[in-house]
Amino acid sequence: MRDVSIIGIGQTKVDEHWGRSLRHLANDAVLAAMQDARIEAADALYVGNMLSGVLTGQEHLGALIADFVGLRGIEAVKVEAACGSGAAALRLAYGAVAGGLHDLVIVCGVEKMTDTTHAETTTGLMMAADADWESVHGLTFVSINALLMRRYMYEYGVKHADFAGFSVNAHRNAVGNPNAMYPNPVTVEQFTQARMIADPINLLDSSGIGDGAAAVVLCPTHSAQEYRSEGAVRIRASSMATDAVAVHDRPDPLWLSAVQVSSFKAYQQAGAGPQDIDLLEVHDAFTIMSAMSLEAAGFALRGKGVWLAKDGEIAREGRLPICTMGGLKARGHPVGATGVYQVAEVVQQLRGQAGPNQIPNARLGMAQNVGGSGATVITHILEAQD
């Protein structure tokens, strides 16, 4: 199979875009990525999206967006894997280019979550969980994560305040990201005093609901130079794994086995390990997800993920910078778009275009996108290309 590179990226600001519909947001991101890649056509468009059906009455986004961005006629589909939809679309596009099905593929993650009621959005997000066994009891995604966080605190003797570092780090990094929804710094004190959402998860444990779109352009590595003389980024690894959707079906609710499998498949493909990763975009939908992901992905021992936040190792200056552009927490989490934002941000870092948030000498970056409470996990490892 062929090596694959990312030759263009585009992002809209994550925000409440009351004046922009889903197709307009997608258009902004795709055209920016095409301009960045210096292309005017493509073989295919893979769209990552979760909620457009229930929230905007629109499916069939492949053909719709392909037409709207000026690419009427090309192969185009929507890929859905809950909050992992964006990276799932990238994963399939990677396979199509690596395997030779296509030479130039655009991946667009897009989600329009505002301009609707909070009830609709909350219900919509629960479609990522098990409808027959979780949603039916009135659980929401916050409360599923609250159950996990409470259990984690009990099992490992951790206090809620110990998670503060994840939120503080994300907000600090969002300040330097013009695409971030919440570019305001927060303090540990603000974190501990934030209003409760679902005990023990409070407002500052939680990523926000927003609208946004991000896009990347893929081509075989050997032809990346035809499009841009520098700044191409090679996909060193791409992997996906799944787990039971319902948390109670997993032998150990505190162990994200799909994170483990997806991460270690990616390490194997990349010929690299956790110690080689210069920055990590982790799926911090809630602070508890960051702690658990860091453990299952091999960056911390079991029950110790939370201490990476406490000790400051995840800061831009630390040993393992995470959420370097604000993460889901502070850049925002337009669910089906998130996985593509993460990858676009890693590309920014590897190109040296992350502005005040630049991680010095970043060579190898990892992005991990999670669907549901850990049932779908997609991992990409990217490398700066000389």
Residues that bind its own copies (CB under 8 A): 1, 21, 23, 50-51, 53-54, 56-64, 66-67, 72-82, 88, 91-92, 95-96, 98-102, 123-124, 126-132, 135, 239-245, 249, 257-258, 261, 371-372, 375-376
Q: Which is nearer to its own copies, 321 or 371 (CB)?
A: 371
Where is 99: in which H helix or E strand?
A: helix 85-99
CA atoms of 100 and 121, how far apart (whole Å): 38
Q: Which is nearer to its own copies, 234 or 363 (CB)?
A: 234
Q: How far apart are CB 209 and its own copies at their closest, in Å?
A: 16
Q: How far apart are CB 31 and its own copies at their closest, in Å?
A: 18
Q: How far apart are CB 372 and its own copies at their closest, in Å?
A: 5
Q: Which is nearer to its own copies, 147 or 261 (CB)?
A: 261
Q: Which is nearer to its own copies, 132 or 252 (CB)?
A: 132
Contact 104, 65 (CB under 8 A): no
The residue type found at 317 is E
Sign of the four-CA dihedral 144, 295, 95, 242: negative
CA atoms of 18 and 230, how far apart (whole Å): 37
Where is 36: in which H helix or E strand?
A: helix 22-37
Q: How far apart are CB 251 and its own copies at their closest, in Å?
A: 11
Using CB atoms within 10 A of its CB, is residue 17 exposed (0-12), middle (13-18) or buried (19+)?
A: buried
Which positions ≥6 away from 225 have C-beta within 8 Å?
A: 232
State the residue for tokens 């599923």: 144
Q: How far apart are CB 156 and its own copies at their closest, in Å?
A: 25
State yes or no: is 83 an active-site residue: yes
CA atoms of 104 and 124, how far apart (whole Å): 33
Q: How far apart are CB 373 and its own copies at their closest, in Å?
A: 10
Q: DSSP readout, 43-60?
A: SEEEEE-SSHHHHHS---
Q: How far apart are CB 22 and its own copies at their closest, in Å?
A: 9
Q: DSSP readout, 268-311?
A: HHHT--GGG-SEEE---SBHHHHHHHHHHTTSS-TT-HHHHHHT
Q: Which is nearer to its own copies, 231 or 253 (CB)?
A: 253
Contact 385, 364 (CB under 8 A): no
Distances (CA, A) of 138 to 76, 132, 142, 143: 36, 11, 11, 9
CA atoms of 350 and 214, how far apart (whole Å): 17
Q: Which is nearer to its own copies, 43 or 162 (CB)?
A: 43
Count the neighbouring beta carbons within 10 Å of the beta carbon of residue 255: 16
Q: Which is nearer to its own copies, 27 or 167 (CB)?
A: 27
CA atoms of 27 and 275, how far apart (whole Å): 38
Catalytic residue among 83, 108, 219, 323: 83
Catalytic residue among 102, 283, 333, 380: 333
Q: Where in the sequence numbering do the catalytic residues fall?
A: 83, 333
